A = this chain, B = another copy of it.
Amino acid sequence: MSSNKIDTRSRILKASLELLEASHGRGVRMSDIAKRAKLSRQAIYLHFTTRAELLIATTHYLDEIKGAQNRLEASRTALTGTERLDAFIAAWGGYIPEIYGIAKALLAMSDTDQEAATAWSKRMQDMREGCQAAIDALYRDKKLSANYSREHATDILWTMLSIRNWEQLSIECGWTQKQYITMLQTTARRIFVVDGAGI
């Protein structure tokens, strides 16, 4: 009974996620999700009040499955600021391909739906905290370039790591995931780290 309800909810989330991943977030309708979850379109509304709510719930479901929290927090254990920057870029950059489909869908909805826009904004704000922490670590090590305030440096790193940028480089320019991560690490060092060009 009540476990039955939970089952169905998960089944819907699973169907939603699979479709969004497969389609890069495009053109997935409530009826498609229903079909894949093997119930009627209307039944979805017994579990989620709107499409936006379903998409948002799908992102949480995804996080749970992929252990997003743990992966991103791993970078906190890095010793030096530079290592932490590298680790955060690797963690987040590695996570993007896994969330790309649902992210794209939520982003598209944000254009018209306030609820979706708020949810998306919150997620990006969470990610920003990771950027902030990495920049702060660099600052504590006295390694942050004098060109930027901590705030501006955070803004820049946050922007560099945006999903849109990953999309452009990976999908439009055809970069491999390794090229993407390596470039970001190299570039971030060149930009932010005093004397830290590396190579």
Counting contact residues on chain A (CB < 8 A from B), the size range is 20 to 34
- Give Cα A163–Cα B168 distance, bound, in whole angstroms: 12
Q: Which residues of B contact A190 (CB under 8 A)?
A: 147, 190-191
**CB nearest to A105 among chain B residues:** B111
- Give Cα A26–Cα B110 distance, bound, in whole angstroms: 11
- Residues of A92-149 contacting chain B, CB below 8 A: 108, 111-112, 147-148
- Tell me if B155 and A162 are in contact (CB < 8 A): no
A61 to chain B, nearest CB (A): 23
A89 to chain B, nearest CB (A): 15
Q: Which residues of B contact A199 (CB under 8 A)?
A: 147
- Give Cα A156–Cα B173 distance, bound, in whole angstroms: 10
- Tell me if A156 and B168 are in contact (CB < 8 A): no
A68: interface (CB < 8 Å): no
